Amino acid sequence: MKAMIVTYGCQMNEYDTHLVQSQLVSFGADIVDSVDVADFVLLNTCAIRGKPVEKVRSLLGDLRKIRARRPLVIGMMGCLAQLEEGQQMARKFGVDILLGPGSLLDIGKALESNERFWGLAFRDELHDHVPPAPAGQLQAHLTIMRGCDHHCTYCIVPTTRGPQVSRHPDDILRELDSLLVAGVQEVTLLGQNVNAYGVDQGARVGGYPSFANLLRLVGRSGVRRVKFTTSHPMNFTEDVAAAMADTPAICEYVHLPVQSGSSRVLRRMAREYTREDYLRHVADIRKHLPHAVLATDIIVGFPGETEEDFQDTLSLYDEVGFDSAYMFAYSPRPGTPSYKHFDDLPREVKTERLERLIARQKEWSARKNAAKVGTIQELLLRGEAHDSGFLEGHTRGNHPTVVPKAVGVTGPGVHLARIEHATPHMMYATLVDSAGNALPELPKLNPEAAALTSPLAMA
C-alpha cells in the first residue's frame, strides 16, 4: 500500500502524523508525497479556526473526484474528526476511516476492516506508546501530555482532545533516549498546556515531577537544545524561568500566549488571569533570563471587544516588546461557548484591527531583530535554502536565519554564525568558527546570478 498523510494545524498534529506514519510503515506501507500515486490518503485535521476546516472540505471534494476514477481509501484523523461537524463532512464525502486524536493506534484495525471504520474513543495506551525516532532529522517533537483542563470560551480543544493526561516521565525519557540515539539535536516538548504537566484534572499525579523539574531532567539528558510549547499563563510559575536559566540546554525562547491585553476581554475568554498577572510572568522571565526571546498568540476581534479593549492589546504589546506573535482574527467555532452565547463582530472590524496589530508586530520584530546584528548566534541548520548556495535554519531564540554555504559546512548541523542583516521576519548571517572568524564561503558557480538571487540581496 502507498499511503500519504496531509497535515494541517499545530505541532501536536505533526507529532501525531509521525506516530501514524510509523504505524503504517510497520504494516508494510510505503509513505508517498503525491496523491497521484497514493492508495490511501489520510487527512490530519485541525478545528481551531475556520480556514483549516475549509481546506479539508475542499481537499475531500478533490479526493472524491479521484476515487470516482480509481480505487482510493480516504481517511480523516485529528481534531475535526472528533467533532460532529467533521463527522457530517465525513458522511458527505464518503470518508472510509475516521480516527479521533485519542484513537490513533486504531489505524491498523481500521485498514483491516472491510467496511467504514470510525474510532473516536480516547485510548489510554496512546499515552504509553513511544514512536520510533524520525530518521535523519536534527529536530524532533516530544509529546509530554494530551488534552487540556482549561475551558477557554473560544477553544474547541477540550472537546476534541479530552481532559489533560500527562505522560509518565519514564516514557518521556525513554522516547528522548531514542531521539538522541537517532542524532536529534533539538527537542521541542509538546502539550496543549505544557507548564501544567503533572497536575491533571486539578490534582497532582503521584510520582510525576513538576514541569520545571521535568525541564531540568530533559535538559540534563545530553540533548543539545530543548524548547517547549505551548504554555498557559494561568499555570506559568517562576520556577520554570529559573529552570530555564540554570539548565544550559534549554533555549531562551518562551512562547506564552496572552490572547488579549484587556482584562475585560480575558474574562470573557475565561482565560483565568488578568493583564497584570501576565505582566508579572514577563517580569519573572526577564528576572531570570534578561535576554529571553518572547513570543505570543493574540486573538483580535473577540466578541464584545471594543476599540478601547483593542488599544489595551496594542499597549500591552508595547509594554512587553514581543519578539514575534501569532495573530488571528477571532474565528467562531461551533461547539464553543463563545459561538453559542456571544455575537461575532463584523468581519471588516476584525480585519482592520488585525492589520493594525500586524503593523505593530512588524515594528517590534524589526527592532528586536536589528539588535541582534553583529552578535554571534548558535544556528541549527536544517538544509538548503531556496537558493542552493545557502542554508536555512534558526537560532536558539527561534529566529529564521539564512547563511551562505562555507568550506566544511554544506548541510544540516549546529554551527555558529554572525548576524549581518535582519528584517522583521528573517536574519542573514555568516558562518564563523569558535573564535568568531568568518569561515571561507564556497565559490559560486555563477557569481552574477548568485548575487542577484541571494537571500541577502533579495532582502
Binding-site residue positions for [4Fe-4S] cluster: 10, 46, 79, 148, 152, 155
Q: How many Cβ atoms sit within 10 Å of the Cβ of residue 191?
A: 25
Edge-to-edge, what's the strand order for the sheet holding 186-190? 139-143, 186-190, 225-229
Binding positions: 10, 46, 79, 148, 152, 155
Cell of 390: 545557502
Torsional class of 229: left (φ above 0), alpha (ψ -120 to 50), beta (otherwise): beta
162 contact partners, CB below 8 Å, separation of at least 6 = 101, 102, 122, 146, 147
Q: What is the DSSP string of 62-73?
A: HHHHHHTTS--E
Amino acid identity of residue 2, one-letter, is K
**What burial letters (b/e) apply to 311-349, b meaning 16+ CB within 10 Å?**
ebbeebbeebebbbbebbbbbbbeebebbeebebbeeeb
3-class DSSP state of 226: strand
Only one residue has cell 522571565, namely 285
Query: Measured at the alpha carbon of residue 61, what is the angle toward residues 65 and 114, in degrees to the nearest 5?
Result: 70
Tell me the C-alpha distance between 266 and 223, whole Å.
37
**Buried residues in 222-258 as b, exposed as e (16+ CB within 10 A):** ebbbbbbbbbbbebbeebbbbbbbebebbbbbbbbbb
Amino acid identity of residue 442, one-letter, is L
The CB density around residue 33, as the number of other CB atoms within 10 Å, is 9
CA 121, CA 165: separation in Å to the nearest integer? 14
Residue 378 belongs to what H/E stretch? strand 376-384
